[in-house]
Amino acid sequence: MSCRTILLALALAGGLTLTGCKSKSQQETAEMSEPEPILIGESADTATAEPAAPLIAAEPLAAAPPTYVVQKGDTLWSIARRNYGDGQRWKEIAEANGIANPSRLRAGQTLVLP
């Protein structure tokens, strides 16, 4: 692994600054000489940088409205009665689903229950 790869990995991992990395040609000419010291510490940028803004929790997603899959023989009245306990609330289901003609329900159709 090259010195630059190590420097990059350390910098990304913790914001550390390393100095004293020799280029490949410098390494070849100074094979037997004493190695330069490698200094590890904070960079000037991190010492004066402002603290990061706190993370803001996202609002929870609204739950999807309940749905009902129309069965053979269902009417809006029967669906309202089964789900709301009041068949007269069929108009709410019709409006929420853009149903102009309540007698044209199809088995398998998915309705949103407001």
pLDDT tens column, 44-75: 555 555 667 666 767 777 888 899 999 999 99
> What's the pLDDT score for residue 58?
72
The residue among 61, 62, 82, 60 whose CA lies nearest residue 71 is 82
Please state whether the predicted TM-score (pTM) of the whole model is above 0.85.
Answer: no
Contact 28, 22 (CB under 8 A): no
Say how far apart CA 31 and CA 48 lie, in whole Å. Answer: 38
